[in-house]
Chains A and B, each alone.
Chain A
Amino acid sequence: MNRNDEYLELKREMDELSAPGESVARAMARQQREKREKREKWGRFFLKPLGGLAAACALFVLLVNLSPAVARACKGIPLLGDLAEAVRFYRSLSEAVEHEYYQKVNQQQTIDGVTVSVDYLIADKKGVTILYHICEAADLNLEDLELVPDLCLPEVDYTSECLRGTYGTEQSGGSFRIYFDEDQTPQSLPLKLDLYVEDKSIPQVSDPDVNPRIGTESEPLSTFTFTLEVDQDFIVQGRHYEVDQIMEMDGQKIHITGIDIYPSFTSFTIEEEAGNTAWLTWLDYYLLTEDGTRYEPNSGLFAMSDEVGTMDYLAESVFFSSAEKLTLYVTGACWLSKDKDPETTQRFLRSWGYSQNDNSQYDVPITVEFDLKK
């Protein structure tokens, strides 16, 4: 057999071969497994001390979480017929609504004379904001009522917050924001709203984070459950930009590796250089587009992480802007020396945003520009 015959024979043999199959399924399973292992590994280091946060570590500008005390702050805001006005405290949501980027839900449920309505959703690739309120409460005083939201999704990791003062009426209402891993926003959201009644016989305390009148240990008066279907068109919205920029501050280097622009927020990913002598514990920053429009850090939750030395910082959304250039201005940073004693380091690990030491403010902001045309 000459070489050409040998080639034809080998070619025929090859053409008859099929791949063993299921490579895609195995790749997807591997990706899920690695994500889970990463979370579990990180969880041992970071999440256990936080005690109860389901998914990622989270930094908050305002203390907003699921505690009844904070949920309480979500009520008492006059319901404005215009949704855009109702979300006016949150620029990203407000702009989304201005662009008619929201989904009407209009689901109601009545238990023992109390009617709760879930009114709107604002969803994208990375999360969902749910707006709800109590419509009527029979013989109960609306001012004494409080709705505490949560999702019934034990298998899905998410971080959540109640948005302060975004939605409500004289009656109790509020907004619940959930952040999922990218592309993990479920199409079907099982929402639970626990209704609590405030016990005014218990004295109020000055600490705004503690409301002994309603404790999480108390039983809810009733629990409202809704299944919300999120429109597929919304949960695919968001843009990712790979970037590769190094910033040097206070002798430490941080690497900006990505920008994500979603309808409800913008985020940029920072990876700290392994050779740094300190952990980055806080960052003061804002974003500026080429037309001079300034975008502030997110109100409420402003940073999330599920990996040591990597953090996604959140800012107001530029999704609806036509910006082609985006500049990050860093005006300050806080560091925790890596040679601190274990107790101090643990304290940092237990409370993201621990920033009392090594605080720097920059007279001239450190800037880095990103090209959004690519």
Chain B
Amino acid sequence: MEANEYASRVEEMQNRLFRMALLYLGSHSDAEEVLDEAVYRGLKSCKNLREPAYFETWMTRILLNACCDEYRRRKREMSFEEMPETAEEAFDALPLREAIRRLPGELKDLVILRYFSGYTLWEASEILNIPQGTAATRQRRALELLRLELE
């Protein structure tokens, strides 16, 4: 994919990418920084994307990787830890936004993709490169932890 086409496609989906980063990291400035990083990573490798049909999946994966990298970096700098799945009561005590941010990474990815970015279970499993059954299990577990009753 050429850089011009890449720029145009990214602009179409950058609001969605920004929201995902914001939910993942919790702060506007971090989300903006990670969006910039993801867009840059995409620009550097867009020439290698041979199937434009997979652009959205590919770009979303780049953003989630950038979020994950930033999250790891910040964990080293300050107390910014995910909580284990066993900490059900602790999740109950947190506001939803904070509870999502403290979910284990694999559950958090799925919740953000499914319930805040509009992807179907199948699309989310493609983005995360996991079987649909695994995605369904993670979705169920995440909803249990968050005490959400969503389809």
Report which A residues bind B (CB closer than 8 A). Answer: 3-4, 6-7, 10-11, 14-15, 17-21, 23-24, 26-28, 30-31, 183, 236, 240, 242
- Cβ-defined contact, B35 with A31, below 8 A: no
Partner pick for A24 among B7, B19, B28, CB 8 A cutoff? B7
Decide if A11 touches B18 in the complex (CB within 8 Å): no
In whole angstroms, what is the CA distance A115 to B28 when docked?
64
The number of A-B residue pairs with CB atoms under 8 Å apart is 75
- Report the minimal beta-carbon distance from A371 to chain B, rounded to whole angstroms: 14
In the complex, chain B residues whose CB is within 8 Å of the CB of A14: 19, 22-23, 116
The complex places the Cα of A242 from the Cα of B44 at a distance, in Å, of 13
Q: Contact at A19–B148, with CB atoms within 8 Å?
A: no
- A374 to B, closest residue via Cβ: B50
**Chain A contact surface mostly:** helix
CB <8 Å contact, A6 and B96? yes
CA distance in complex: A11, B44 (Å)? 32
- State A242–B14 Cα separation when bound (angstroms): 28
- Chain B 113-151, CB-CB to A under 8 Å as 1, else 0, gives 001100000000000000000000000000000111110
Q: Which B positions have Cβ atoms within 8 angstroms of A?
A: 2-3, 7, 10-11, 14-15, 17-19, 22-23, 28, 32, 35-36, 39-40, 42-44, 47-48, 95-97, 115-116, 146-150
Complex: how many Å from CA A20 to CA B43?
A: 18
Q: Determine the distance from Cα of A6 to Cα of B14 in the docked complex, in whole angstroms.
A: 25
CB closest chain-A residue, reference B21: A19
Within the complex, the shortest CB–CB distance from B78 to chain A, in Å, comes to: 24
CB-CB under 8 A from B148, the residues of chain A are 3-4, 7
Asked if A17 and B32 make an inter-chain contact with CB atoms under 8 angstroms apart, the answer reads no
Which residues on A sit within 8 Å (CB–CB) of B15?
17-19
Q: Are B146 and A3 in contact (CB under 8 A)?
A: yes
Interface of B is mostly: helix
The answer for the CA separation of A19 and B22 in the assembled complex, in Å, is: 10
Within the assembled complex, what's the spacing in Å between the Cα atoms of A200 and B81? 81
B96 and A236 contact, CB distance less than 8 A:
no
Cβ of A21: which chain B residues have Cβ within 8 Å of it? 14
Closest to A31 in B: B43
Q: Complex Cα distance A183/B42, Å?
A: 16
Q: Do the beta carbons of B32 and A20 come within 8 Å of each other?
A: yes
Q: Quick one: closest A residue to B11, CB to CB?
A: A24
Q: How far is the CB of B47 from chain A (nearest CB, A)?
A: 6
Residues of A within 8 A of B150 (CB): 4, 7
* A258 closest partner in B (C-beta): B48
- CB contacts (< 8 Å) of A30 on chain B: these are 36, 40
Whether A28 and B17, one on each chain, are in contact in the complex, defined by CB atoms closer than 8 angstroms, is no
Instruction: Say whether A28 contacts B35, CB under 8 Å.
Output: no
Once bound together, how far apart are the Cα atoms of A240 and B147, in whole Å?
49
Name the one of B35, B47, B147 contacting A23, with C-beta atoms under 8 angstroms.
B35
When the two chains form their complex, are residues B44 and A31 in contact, meaning their CB atoms are under 8 A apart? yes
Residues of A contacting B95 in the complex (Cβ-Cβ under 8 angstroms)? 6
| Distance from A301 Cβ to chain B, minimum over Cβ atoms (Å) | 23
Given A11-B115, A28-B43, A20–B7 Cβ distance below 8 Å? Answer: no
C-alpha spacing A26/B11, complex, angstroms:
12
Q: A10-B96, A17-B22, A19-B15 are in contact. Are A27 and B39 (CB under 8 A)?
A: yes
How far is it, in angstroms, between the C-alpha of A7 and the C-alpha of B10 when the chains are bound? 27
Closest to B10 in A: A24
Instruction: For A7, list chain B residues within 8 Å (CB).
Output: 96, 115, 148, 150
Cα–Cα, bound, A321→B139 (Å): 50
Interchain CB contact under 8 A, B18 and A20? yes
Write the nearest CB–CB distance from B59 to chain A, whole angstroms: 12
